[in-house]
Structure 1
């Protein structure tokens, strides 16, 4: 254990998937949800529960979007995910009988059985009871966010306010309190948005490092407000995952893209970026474990070196914030949950204070006020992923949709049909659809989803719809508040 205090480290995990229930299964759709649930959400929650049992506090900051929380609490999703876990066990059992896949099948069957046991004993009433226990015991700080993860800079002010307030209300209903901070979808920011945050009771949010011109060694109040922004330290964050490289791409880790299609399992290691799937080497857990130890040490050394450099530059103890999608750990990067546990145990041993965003403020990591530019954490650190040429038609469609949404006649009494119309509009405005089109990742599915929800809004608003009650995502949503 180091006796020297090197500085403060905050790990922020952003958990989000768009609404997938009842909207297809494979290769995108519900399968996406179930894979992330089994391979990321279950192991990350198990890790946090272990820390809770050890008496650890302020371990990390966890963002959970309302639309993801809705799925992890939804009775239909709970039932069908349980069935998916059973199919995982059966696929693994079949693999254990096939030449070349026996060891993989045995390991996967054990993992599937453990996941099923955890689900049946801990998740029977959904995610929110467990999440609330982690919040109440101060193991995590929870971040909320706008309802369906819309790209806020492209929203009309009234729609933006409604999405944020209703999203915060949703989190409060699920865990018993409104979160003090949010993960702004895609870290999207437009000048002046901090005023809306302050009005909604939001105290802190995330931006990407370039929004602060790399000045991420402390948090900063924004403009003339008391709302605080934290910047993601890219020098540290990109050691794990960057647009071009990072630990998960190492040759010894399990390859995400290569499948043994007869059993639906992933039998190969990365081997090499230019190696064809059929030529990749078999996955070897022992090699992966050795590599993982190296990468845990490398990350800890990187954090310590960065904190020392920032302290020398600024003359005070510094803060490093590393932020990632939760789905990276386990779903995309098979070894990710073990890496998380490794660094969260090793950093305190190296003299680094590990805490939450709120804990960093309590430790005094607050710098001078800043004025932020229009920004995001997407390509170019601007808005091009969500308003660029490839999605110009979607931006135009969404702008017109918002006008029609705001033109809905006011009513005195609550109307569940109008509530459903507003829900469909909010689902259409999810930032995921433009992202998937720009990145050419299941672009057809994304365009279809945006079109379906826009069409459903129009049909419901016109009174011509057979009501799609499967999209009754938020029972508390009240259209009158728009």
Structure 2
């Protein structure tokens, strides 16, 4: 006898994932650099696609609104990165095999079904029997990902994502090239980056996104007009930008562009600056490594337990925790939708939004949780849909004027414009001014009366390096003291490249400028369709 289905819940739930990393190819390996890309690709992007394809095979549609920034899309399609990823997966398998076959154990390995008695200290994750069990499991995972990568991903992510878009499994959100903090950016470059970013998505996926994830959810009054001009119909902001009232999307100003706000009460249930599911004692610990193999064989164990005292990872224990957190989240969404619908007197819209990399890279069990949640929500009578569905179905309220805002600390601009990064703000301003003036003159000098202006690869590379300079990642990493030295190095490196090429061009040393542009392009050759001729005029 089947259990009766629960009563449908009014309204709509949307899961929004924001996929972003800075340009890392050719710019270091470890501890910050390409390893960051390959770890995220393996731990988050491959599993997410696996989850979505599995659910699509069950005829489930309109599951996730997925933002993929142009800079991530460029890396997931780049031949150098594809080769590097294949090597990384093979190396992962070798490291797992080393752990699985290591010697030094005394006696049989204890069964994971027989946990250590509470009166005794937990077995160390570094004990050879524990590492062997863990290594064997990692070997199986590495084999699966190698097979998936070789059969599905070897020609890049674009065909993989296009299949999900065409099948209406996901709604794709786009964004501006290189993820700049838009409120602080020169309006000409801001418009150029956005339009080129949308065009980049259209070329990769044969689909031009109708919505965007604004980098850092950053907004300044008037940006909605830019969005309308670029054909953007909706974008994401954080909940406080709408004063916490996120039950409906809101047209901004006198435009039809709709701002959707992240529901913090629901989103923070999963992950917040202070708590969330990934910190549960049963889950794999992100920060604890076995230094001989580079694997992560420990579980969180407890909040204040030193790494060397962490217990071995137990998949069965983690499975049980996932099921508990799926049930908790479904209950949270159900109660929130019911309460918000009653409050506004009509069906409400609840949005949970996260970085994609949370699911798998930072929280190893995250992809399993996602798959189970996306099944459990409809089973609990909750309709799941995308932001595009919300617009089409009228989950839109009255117009609103938004304040300057972001989803960073304080929900203002301090992370990207505060005292800690004042030097980077000044650097960005100076580099952008230099780039725009040089590009304007270069294009004017090559223009022929009555003929189209020819492509100018030097001007293209100047803009490419400028956009990499103003990436929002660098001030974020400095403000948060997360690989701050690397971030400053990268910002100044791209600033140097811009100035070096621009100086040669401005001085009339055109052959030198071309050689410099070609040289920098070997490392920073992303966005091959970027065309300086499309830069808006002064």
TM-score norm. by structure 2 comes to 0.89
- 2:473 — aligned with what? 432
Which of residues 217, 221, 227 is equivalent to 1:187? 217
- 1:28 — aligned with what? 32
Contact preservation (8 Å) 2:179, 2:472: yes
Are residues 1:406 and 2:436 paired?
A: yes
Which of residues 23, 31, 34 is equivalent to 1:19? 23
Moved more, 51-60 or 118-127: 51-60
- 2:482 — aligned with what? 441
- 2:291 — aligned with what? 261
- 1:94 — aligned with what? 98
Q: How does 1:14-413 map to 2 (within 5 A)?
A: 14-98=18-102, 99=128, 100-408=130-438, 409-411=441-443, 412-413=453-454
**Distance in 1 between residues matched to 2:466 and 2:47, nearest whole Å:** 33
- 1:462 — aligned with what? 503
Deviations 1:160-204 (A, max 9, x none): 001100101100000112100000000000011000000000000
Gaps of 5+ in 2: 103-127, 444-452, 505-511
**Distance in 2 between residues matched to 1:39 and 1:115, nearest whole Å:** 10
Are residues 1:471 and 2:524 paired?
A: yes
**Distance in 2 between residues matched to 1:12 and 1:415, nearest whole Å:** 38
Deviations 1:203-250 (A, max 9, x none): 000000000001100111000000001000000000011011100011
Deviations 1:1-28 (A, max 9, x none): 3232332100000001100000000011
**Distance in 2 between residues matched to 1:187 and 1:127, nearest whole Å:** 24
**Distance in 2 between residues matched to 1:288 and 1:425, nearest whole Å:** 45
SS at match of 2:329: helix
Q: Give the C-alpha shift of residue 405 in structure 1.
A: 1.5
**Distance in 1 between residues matched to 2:303 and 2:433, nearest whole Å:** 46
Gaps of 5+ in 1: none
Structure label with greater radius of gyration: 2
SS at match of 2:16: strand
Q: Give the C-alpha shift of residue 410 in structure 1.
A: 4.2
SS at match of 1:142: strand
Contact preservation (8 Å) 2:217, 2:236: yes
Moved more, 208-217 or 415-424: 415-424
Contact preservation (8 Å) 2:442, 2:459: no
**Distance in 2 between residues matched to 1:51 and 1:346, nearest whole Å:** 12
Moved more, 409-418 or 469-478: 409-418
Q: Give the C-alpha shift of residue 314 in structure 1.
A: 1.1
Which of residues 6, 9, 16 is equivalent to 2:10? 6
**Distance in 1 between residues matched to 2:381 and 2:406, nearest whole Å:** 32
Contact preservation (8 Å) 1:182, 1:202: yes
Deviations 1:388-425 (A, max 9, x none): 11000000110111111211114132111221111011
Contact preservation (8 Å) 1:410, 1:480: no
CA RMSD of aligned residues (A): 0.9
**Distance in 2 between residues matched to 1:112 and 1:79, nearest whole Å:** 16
Are residues 1:481 and 2:538 paired?
A: no
**Distance in 1 between residues matched to 2:405 and 2:25, nearest whole Å:** 31
Contact preservation (8 Å) 1:152, 1:189: yes
**Distance in 1 between residues matched to 2:392 and 2:461, nearest whole Å:** 42
**Distance in 1 between residues matched to 2:454 and 2:72, nearest whole Å:** 29
Moved more, 309-318 or 338-347: 309-318
**Distance in 2 between residues matched to 1:210 and 1:221, nearest whole Å:** 16
Contact preservation (8 Å) 2:248, 2:349: yes
**Distance in 1 between residues matched to 2:175 and 2:316, nearest whole Å:** 40
- 2:492 — aligned with what? 451
Q: Give the C-alpha shift of residue 117 in structure 1.
A: 0.3
**Distance in 1 between residues matched to 2:415 and 2:374, nearest whole Å:** 33
Contact preservation (8 Å) 1:209, 1:215: yes
Deviations 1:336-386 (A, max 9, x none): 000001111000011111000011122221111110000000000000000
